[in-house]
Amino acid sequence: MVLEDTARRIRTMEIRGAGRIARAAAEALRDHAAALQCTNLEEFRQEMHRAATILTETRPTAVSLPNAVRFVISRMDASDSAEEARTTLMESADEFISRSHQAVDMIAEYGSRAIPEDSVIMTHCNSEVAVATAVKAWEKGRVREAFATEVRPRNQGYITAKALGDAGIPTNFIVDSAARYFMRDIDVVITGADAVTGAGAVVNKIGTSQIALAAHEARVPFLVTTETYKFAPGTLLGDRIPIEERPPGEVMGDDITAGMPNVRVRNPAFDVTPAAYVDMIVTEAGAIPPGMAYVIIRDYLGWKPDVWQKNFLIDHKE
């Protein structure tokens, strides 16, 4: 089924990138709702909530995933019939997907304006919005050269380097540990985000915080490009964003580890960059300092403490 296949592809990182994951989840919910042969409203609701749970459990760190699922599912609960619920859910999914694509274009435009003329940029991981921003800045003549990190252990940097190169940008491909060495040549660092906390800290691919620290030390501006649906309302309740730790085989093959019984391979997929190392967060709602993250959560994600507190308690009770 489409639902299970999408969940598998998200879990195994065949679908990667927070925005793409969110859109894939919305599409899976829409297609699952369309395929359901169910005329009972309560049964339809229960099945769609089950489907939502399957999707949200695939990647624990990417806040875009539960936010997308919540957007698609939430309006369904006010329906009076299964058919109305189905129609409402499918319309919500299409609306989310459309908004997501529009957000990428808007962020690229806003972010490109924040890049100085004749800049050498550095980026880490494969962020749809970061790449779009770099390409837009290149088209405006603001970018002269780019540095793309390897992004171990899954090597998403290959995808980024190819995308930048295909756009015509002279691109240098470097290993992650060379980021500080080349920071002296960089005018601005641009990354994406998998989540942004209410305090403005940024959760992104492992290694991002080290690059942010190197940029901070060198006084190089550090820009984060991200859609508003990657902000995490639960952090305002003290909730912590879990850092996913992936299988050791992504780092070192089982044939190698078998010969080292006393060696444990650790493979966290993300790290947290403190707000103090972030100069600007560029969203489709505009460019903000990290300290304004709360405003995005309140005004664009509909933050209401009583509602979110209720949902938070229900989630933990279950």
User: In angstroms, rounded to a whole number, what is the distance separating the alpha carbons of residues 289 and 257?
Assistant: 44
The torsion angles phi and psi of 212, rounded to 5 degrees, stand at -65, -40
This prediction has a pTM of: 0.86
Do the Cβ atoms of 280 and 114 come closer than 8 Å?
yes
Residue 238 confidence (pLDDT): 87
Give me the residue label for tokens 């966290």: 268
Tell me the two tokens of residue 24.
Answer: 């894939």
Q: Which active-site residues does the annotation give?
A: 125, 194
Ordered structural domains, the chain, with CATH: 2-105 (1.20.120.420), 106-300 (3.40.50.10470)
User: pLDDT of the chain along its 318 residues, tens only?
Assistant: 688 999 999 999 889 888 899 999 999 999 999 999 888 999 999 999 999 999 999 988 878 898 899 889 988 888 889 999 999 999 999 999 999 999 999 999 999 999 999 999 999 999 999 999 999 999 999 999 999 999 999 899 999 999 999 999 999 999 999 999 999 999 999 999 999 999 999 999 999 999 999 999 999 999 999 999 999 988 988 888 999 999 999 999 888 888 898 999 999 999 999 999 999 999 999 999 999 999 999 888 776 665 555 444 334 333
C-alpha torsion sign, points 88, 89, 90, 91: positive
Do the Cβ atoms of 241 and 194 come closer than 8 Å?
no
- What angle is formed at CA 191 by the lines to CA 12 and CA 217, rounded to 5 degrees? 125
User: In angstroms, rounded to a whole number, what is the distance separating the alpha carbons of residues 55 and 125?
Assistant: 23
Residue 52 confidence (pLDDT): 93
Could you please report the per-residue DSSP string of the chain? -HHHHHHHHHHTTSS-SHHHHHHHHHHHHHHHHHH-----HHHHHHHHHHHHHHHHTS-SS-THHHHHHHHHHHGGGG-SSHHHHHHHHHHHHHHHHHHHHHHHHHHHHHHHHTSPTTEEEEE-S--HHHHHHHHHHHHTT-EEEEEEE--TTTTTHHHHHHHHHHTT--EEEE-GGGHHHHGGG-SEEEE--SEE-TTS-EEEETTHHHHHHHHHHHT--EEEE--GGGB-GGGGGT------B--GGGTS-HHHHTT-TT-----B-EEEE-GGG--EEEETTEEE-GGGHHHHHHHHS---HHHHHHHHHHHHH-
Residue 258 confidence (pLDDT): 84
